[in-house]
Chain A
Amino acid sequence: MFHMYLPIAGNSVNIAVILGLGGLVGLLSGIFGVGGGFLMTPLLIMFGIPPTVAAASDSNQIVGASTSGTLAHYRLGNVDMKMGILLLVGGILGGAVGVQLIKVLRAMGNADFLINITYVIMLGGVGSYMFIESLQSMKKSKGTLTEHAAPAAAAKAEKPSGFSRMMKALPFQTDFVKSGVSMSALTPLVLGTFVGILAAIMGVGGGFIMVPVMVYLLRMPMHVVVGTSLFQILFTCINVTIMQSYTNHTVDFVLALLLLLGSTIGAQFGTRISKKLKGDQLKIILASLVLLVMVKMLFSLLLAPSILLAYAGGH
């Protein structure tokens, strides 16, 4: 077995295992447009990496995987840069607010309870909604409701909702050509801020929140959502990696390098798989993954841990 010593993590790892972990999470990045941090960090901790180093090094590898995935999706015409930049700006603002909010909550002693409940509610809510919606959409596309769809669509076209009218009335109306939508530039900015706050509270890159926001609130097609989400995650993780290295000295570059060797390859294969799947199929599989993570999170909250003390840090 070939092992490599990780100087910042202060431990030795089996190279094949880490390459495999990176490949698996990179595959998910390429298919769904998520960073994979919510999977990778707990897996790294399981393999003996300190939580703070796991979280920071994982951010470094996400930079590599999302670069690889963004490039692949860009070539397929799946990256809406205009939308991505607006979401990113909102995300940075929201992240800054979220960090301050956590400081206040920690001082009050309520932070961990809020973080855990937010995780479960967000994962459960987002996952369930996506699952049900994609299932309904898949049934519709099989033609079972087509005889009702045309009159309904016509009726809808005649009467735009109050919400639509309000959205159209907002300033800075912009055409997002790649996504095929028109809306105020304020909409992705505000939604990005909201996601940024949640991401800061939950300690994640925000991909699994951003993807449903883009699909259901911004009404972007799923394949453009994947590419644009990766574009936004890339810049978020560049920021996080540099800050973690500078402030906490927790980026283990050797670990990140092994992970990104696996994940950049995985992301390429993930992109190819994503091409072969329809939007609804992608949504339903992602929804299942999110629900699985929620169930795992719920179990960890309900079952007593084997040791009641753990090293501080991590997600």
Chain B
Amino acid sequence: MLLTLIVPIGAQALQVTPKEMLVSTTYNGKDVLVTGEIGADEEAVVQIIGTSSEAEFKRYGKVGGVLWMTVAHLAIADAPSAYFVYLPETISAWRQSKDDRWVNLNLDYDSLRNEIKITPEPTDKDVVFNDFLQLKIHDGLYQTVDNAVMYDPAKNGKKTFHTTIHVPAKMPISSYEIKVTRVKNGVVAGIDKDDFKLKQTGFPLLISNLAFNHSLIFGILAVAIAIFAGLFMGLLFQEKGGGAH
């Protein structure tokens, strides 16, 4: 593994728009624009990495050689809640041809393999990890997108990169790291970081607060409103002169 060099660059070099996404009643995902400046001879790989979390899963297997059902319950920890990798054209070609330069950058999902913890530890950890990846990719929370980072023409030895990342509605409410890896001659030349966050507002925030901080009242309220709605609909549809069957 090559050493990575974190080189801080100027405050204006990396821009994330918006820095804060408000999740309101009609939220259905939103785009994040990431722009920055790199050397004319560099490539930019843009990543969004979520915070680590633990989640519970059930694992399917064959019972009696015939029936597929749950055979184990697992907890998977230290896996990022989201992991997006957006690539420019050159590096996309390396990835598609499984070039050593792509492998050496260590930016794909394999970089997570040794970080995640599975409890209880299975004998076939690699298989479980691959199933976990499939699940996350199916959910749209882990993505690798080729040919997604564009450049403006170089000027004075620098060029501007930009990419638009679609944040799906399913992404957990949290802060996310934006990481830009600058690649020069097939090796990592520097890493720049910023962040953005998803924040609930309005009605979703009210409901979340009630559900987690006043859960008993929330449950009773949910039932009361359901009963009221049922009674209201019943009265609305009341037939005149209806009788016993």
Contact = CB atoms under 8 A, between A and B. Distances in A.
B147 interface: no
Interface stretch (A93-101, A192-200, A302-310): A302-310
B138 A2 contact: no
Contact of A5 (B28, B60, B74, B223): B28
Interface residues of A, number: 64
A62 to B, nearest CB: 8
Contacts of B134: 307, 309
Contact of B68 (A69, A256, A305): A305
B229 A246 contact: no
A63 B28 contact: no
Interface stretch (A122-130, A131-139, A236-244): A236-244
A113 interface: yes
Given A11-B169, A76-B243, A268-B234, A302 B67 contact: yes
B219 A245 contact: yes
Given A78-B245, A246-B215, A307-B135, A4 B26 contact: yes
Nearest to A12: B169
A186 interface: no
B63 to A, nearest CB: 6
A112 B26 contact: no
A254 B208 CA distance: 11
Main secondary structure of the interface of A (DSSP, over half): helix
Interface stretch (A36-44, A206-214, A257-265): A257-265
A27 to B, nearest CB: 13
B45 to A, nearest CB: 27
B23 interface: yes
A197 B245 CA distance: 32
Contact of A253 (B27, B56, B222): B222
A67 B67 contact: no
B200 interface: yes
A245 B207 contact: no
Interface string A275-302: 1000000000000000000000000111
A63 B71 CA distance: 33
B69 A112 contact: yes
B169 A3 contact: yes
B131 interface: yes
Contacts of A12: 27-29, 169-170
Given A253-B222, A309-B128, A48 B28 contact: no
12 contacts: A48-B139, A61-B226, A78-B245, A241-B226, A244-B219, A249-B215, A251-B211, A303-B68, A309-B128, A311-B56, A311-B58, A312-B56
Interface of B: 23-29, 55-61, 63, 66-71, 73-74, 128, 131-132, 134-135, 138-139, 169-170, 172-173, 200, 203-205, 207-208, 211-212, 215-216, 218-223, 225-227, 229-234, 237-239, 242-245
| Smallest CB-CB A-B distances: 8 pairs | A67-B230, A77-B244, A245-B219, A12-B169, A71-B234, A264-B233, A7-B204, A64-B226
Interface of A: 2-5, 7-8, 10-12, 48, 60-61, 63-72, 75-78, 112-113, 116, 223, 238, 241-246, 249, 251-254, 256-257, 260-261, 264-265, 267-268, 275, 300-305, 307-313
Given A12-B29, A307-B138, 7 more contacts: A5-B169, A67-B234, A241-B223, A257-B225, A264-B232, A265-B233, A312-B58
